[in-house]
Each structure stands twice: as structure tokens, then as C-alpha cells.
Amino acid sequence: MSVGTTDFDARPGDRLGEYTVLSPISAGAMGKVYRARGPGGDEVAVKQLVDRSQSARFEIEARLLARLSHPRVVRVIDFFENETGKYLVMELVRGAQLASLVKEKGNPGLPVDEALRHALQACEALEYIHEQNVVHRDVKPQNIVLADHGVVLVDFGIARELKEGDQGTRAIGTPQFMAPEILVGEGVSPRSDVYALGATLWTLLAGKPPSYQDRARLSEQIDGVTPELEATLRSALELHPERRLASAGAFARALGSPIELSEGRSLALSVTGPARERELLEAIVRTAAGVLEAAASSIALTDDVTGELVYQAAWGAGAEEIVGVRLPPKVGIAGAVVAKGEEIAVAQCRSDDRFADQIARGTGYVPNTMLVVPLRREGTVIGALSVLDRRDGSAYGPGDLPRGRLFGELAVAALTRE
């Protein structure tokens, strides 16, 4: 077995934790997926991490994905680890992959109205996950399943692109659907998913994915593809991300159908209060997680009467449990930050004497690494902003403190204005 990978292949009848393997579904660079039966008798999809060097990232992403809730996004049920590896358990979405529909019904592609309907529903899924600071990273016809209630986005790519010098290829994904910036090892963003969805819609219409050199006019080859539709497709497939359609919502509007996000549950929560105040707090923690690349974030403010720190808002894993929790003065890393008025980057929380391990375990989320900055108004520390677990699996360090400090200042300015 090569370093950082696993050659373990589960066979029908094998037990993976509480799940019994029924059959293999697929295998790729980052994972193997099995159809399995859970302890309650329901069939599920179990994804095994293949590249062990991505273990921390896999665990962090699994925690985050487990909180997503939208009818067009596959539901994550469980995450566990045993001697054979780490596993993510997802609902088994019954239906046909769009890739299979094109292969079986395409002439060469699907009818335009059908292809557009599938693409618009995929836009709903992407707009929702992007609002939650999640990027799919492997959008393609094989990962969009047509179920009874429409399309469902499945098989999140978990690990992001690998950097130069990492084991394996430079980027994880499917080259014909990958945005150019991923292929050259640059950053992944929601626009990367927009490119992949553009390539997916092109495939649904033409029966094959586009190439970077492809300049043939689709509207002259396929009945029903108007010049306006082709222009929208090419806007989604711009090679430079800054010139590309900026969001899945913008893509949907360009296709002629704005989408709503009302069906999806936000990962951001806050204490009961006026609606505008809740929305502001939730926007702050959600944006903090995005800017500082965190799997979770929270704001705790000092109670003027008791001196306790009260968690007012949180985003991501553990959000439901942490909101409303009270820390005695000077307790925990956040308490230490408020007491000293100095920001802290903690590489390993569990080995830090200031870490409130008991409280973290009570929320069901024990972070690996944290960045905590004081919130200061007119010279007085009024609370702390915490971000937990960098999404790429690496630790927070001194180099992250300036960005954290600036975001803390922006957060206080927004709260004060409110």
C-alpha cells in the first residue's frame, strides 16, 4: 500500500461500522462509494476516503456537509472512522444520473426545455450550498441524479485541489468539467462550480462536453438553442473566473428563471431577538467563516451584569448547540482573549491549557484549531469572534491574525451601526 492511500476494497457482506455493504457504486481519485444497508434497514451510500493525507480535510468537510438541508442536495447522515479508513454516509438517491439520460435518450443531447429544467434545478442546489460557504468542486452529469422530485446534487468532492508537490494529481475532479483555474492549481470558488454547471448544460444539449478550443456555434447545430442561450452558456464558460457569471443565481437569471432559497436551511443561527439583529449576527458569522476559510464560527458577547461570555450567533458545525451557551469570566480560549484583549491563533486546541474541553464536548464539536479575536468598541472589549478548523485541514497561525483582527473591527462597526 502506498503512503497516504488505502487499497482496502469492501465486498458485499462486509461491515463498515454499522453498515453492511451491498455492492460498489463508483470509485475515483478521492473516494470509493458503496451501496450499503444501515442498522434501521434503509439503504445508504457510504463513501470511503482513499487518500489518507486528506483525513483532516475530509473530517472537517464531513461535519459541515452534515448540516446542509435542501431538497436538491444529497443528505449526509453519518461520519465515522475505523481501522480501514474514514467514511461518509449519505442518503441513497434513487434515480438516473444525467450522464445516463444523455447516453440513453440523447439525440445527441436532450431536448432543450428538459436540459434547461435540469440545469435550473441544479442552480438551486448550487446557490444554496454557496450561501453556506460550501463549494461542490465536482459538478458534472454523473453527480446530478434525476429523482422523483427533480434533480439532486450528489457526491461532494470533499477534498479540494491538491497543491504542487502533493501526492497524486494537481487537481481533483473531472478535467472536461473543471474550471481552468483548478487545472492550473489556483483557488476554488463558487465560480468554479458555475463553470462546471455550464459545461454540464452544454453536455446535456450537445451530447458531449465543451473543449476550451471549441468555437463551433451551438445555436447553428442544435434546434432550440437560441443565440441568447448560447451567449449565457459562454458567459458561464469564460476561462477567466472574473469574467464568468458570478453565481449560480446569476446563471439561473440569465437562463430566464430566478431562483429562491426559501427551501434550504441556513447553517447560521443566533439567539432570539429582533429580526434585523439576528440577520446581522448571522451574516457576520457566515461571512467570517467564508473570509477566514473556517468550518465553523461564532460570536460571544459579554453580559454586562454577570461578566459571562454569551454565545450570540454561530455558523457551521456545532452552531445549534453553542448558541446561548454561557462561559464564566476568563474561561476557555475565548474567555482568555476577552480578558487580555489580544487575538490568539491556536494550532492544536486540545493541547492548549486554556481550551474549555468539557464545554466543547457538550456541544458535540471539538475543534482542532482556532483563531479568536477580541471585539473592541471604543477601547473596551465587548466579546470575541471565534473561527474553528480551517477548511483545508491546516492549522491557524500567526499569519492569520491580521485578517482576523481586521474582520473583528468590521464586525464591531456593523454591530455598532445597527
Tell me the pLDDT tens digit for each residue of 302-334: 999 999 999 999 999 889 999 999 999 999 999
**Pair (335, 227) in one structural domain:** no
Query: 306 or 157: which carries more pLDDT confidence?
Result: 306
Q: Is residue 7 part of a domain?
A: no
Answer yes or no: is 242 within a domain: yes
Residue 166 has pLDDT above 50, yes or no: no
Output the pLDDT for position 1: 37
> Could you tell me if residue 81 is inside a domain?
yes
Residue tagged active-site, from 14, 78, 138, 352 = 138
Residue 10 lies in a domain: no
Q: What is the pLDDT of residue 350?
A: 87
Structural domain contains residue 49: yes
Q: Are residues 310 and 371 in the same domain?
A: yes
Q: What is the pLDDT at residue 162?
A: 36
Per-residue pLDDT, 347: 96
Q: What pLDDT, on the 0 to 100 scale, is given for residue 262?
A: 56
Query: Residue 261: which pLDDT band, with cuts at 50, 70 and 90?
Result: low
Confidence band, pLDDT 50/70/90 cuts, at residue 169: very low
Grid coordinates in use for 167? 501526492
**Residue 361: band (very low, low, confident or very high) from pLDDT cuts 50, 70, 90:** confident
pLDDT at 231 over 80: yes
Question: Measuring CA to CA, how many Å separate 373 from each of 172, 404, 406, 408?
Answer: 34, 6, 9, 6
Average pLDDT over residues 103-109: 94
Give tens-digit pLDDT for 326-344.
Answer: 999 999 999 999 999 999 9
User: Which of the four pLDDT bands, split at 50, 70 and 90, describes residue 358?
Assistant: confident
Domain edge (last residue) among 254, 278, 299: 254
Give this prediction's pTM: 0.88
Q: Count the helices and strands in the chain (H runs, E runs).
A: 12, 16
Confidence of residue 365 (pLDDT cuts 50, 70, 90): confident
Q: What is the DSSP string of 138-167?
A: --SGGGEEEETTEEEE-----S-PPPTTSS
222 and 322 inside one domain = no
- Residue 234 within any structural domain of the chain: yes
Our answer to whether residue 138 is catalytic in this structure is yes
Q: Where in the sequence is the domain holding 299, given as residue range(s)?
A: 268-417
What integer pLDDT is reported at residue 69 of this predicted model? 94
Structurally, the chain folds into a number of domains equal to 3
Q: Mark whether 56 and 194 lie in a shared domain.
A: no
In tens, the pLDDT along 2-54 reads: 446 666 789 999 999 999 999 998 876 667 899 999 999 999 999 998 888 88
Whether residue 6 is contained in a domain is answered as: no
Same domain, 228 and 297: no
Backbone CA torsion sign across 82, 85, 89, 92: negative
> Which tens digit of pLDDT belongs to each residue from 46-77?
999 888 888 888 888 888 899 999 999 999 99
Is 167 part of any domain?
Answer: yes
Are 182 and 235 in the same domain? Answer: yes
- Chain mean pLDDT for the chain: 89
- Model pLDDT, residue 215: 64
Cβ distance 404 to 371 under 8 Å?
yes
Nearest to 91 by CA among 26, 145, 163, 42: 42
Q: Are residues 290 and 305 in the same domain?
A: yes
CA distances from residue 374 to 24, 347, 349, 382, 387 in whole angstroms, order as listed:
49, 18, 18, 8, 12
Residues 54 and 164 in one domain: no
Task: Give the per-residue pLDDT at 185.
Answer: 80
Residues 62 and 102 in one domain: no
Which of 254, 284, 300 corresponds to the end of one domain? Answer: 254
Tell me, yes or no, whether 248 and 288 share the same domain: no
CATH of the domain at 80: 3.30.200.20
* CATH code of residue 197: 1.10.510.10
- Judged against a pLDDT cut of 90, whether residue 160 lies above it is answered with no
136 and 224 both lie in a single domain: yes
**Same domain assignment for residues 386 and 412:** yes
Task: For residue 161, give every residue at least 6 positions away whose Cβ sits within 8 Å of its Cβ, in sequence order, or none.
Answer: 137, 170, 171, 172, 173, 182, 185, 188
What does the pLDDT read at residue 246? 96
**Single residue among 91, 125, 148 that ends a domain in this structure:** 91
